[in-house]
Amino acid sequence: MLFKEAKQARIAVSLATVYNTLRQFIRAGLLRPLAIDGTKLYFDTNVSNHHHFYLEDQCQLVDMPANVRITNMPAPPKGYAIDRIDVVARLRRN
């Protein structure tokens, strides 16, 4: 999407530059990558711990309210700790 917008604005940039810049923003903590279905990667500017609704008919992520609770989590394997949990609820229209 960023590449397409840059081209429409007549900004000379390669697709590789767009992805390299996004990776740098992730490393700097400015973006949070979210893989939704294995074919699309979304980049969230809200890097706080939060969850998402995925509107399937619009291919859009929407932040969930902060009151999500996850219970009965199994213990991680020895030597590991849970860093964060990403919940994505996929929504479709009735």
Closest among 56, 64, 30 to 44, alpha carbons compared: 30
Instruction: Output DSSP code: residue 76.
Output: P
Residue 37's pLDDT band (boundaries 50, 70, 90)?
Answer: confident
Residue 41's pLDDT band (boundaries 50, 70, 90)?
Answer: confident
Q: Is the pTM of this model over 0.85?
A: no
Question: Structural domain boundaries of the chain?
Answer: 48-94
CB-based contacts of 60, cutoff 8 Å, min separation 6 = 54
**Single-letter residue type at 14:** S
Q: How far apart are CA 21 and CA 77, in angstroms?
A: 34
Residue 76's pLDDT band (boundaries 50, 70, 90)?
Answer: very high
Closest among 50, 31, 37, 32 to 90, alpha carbons compared: 37
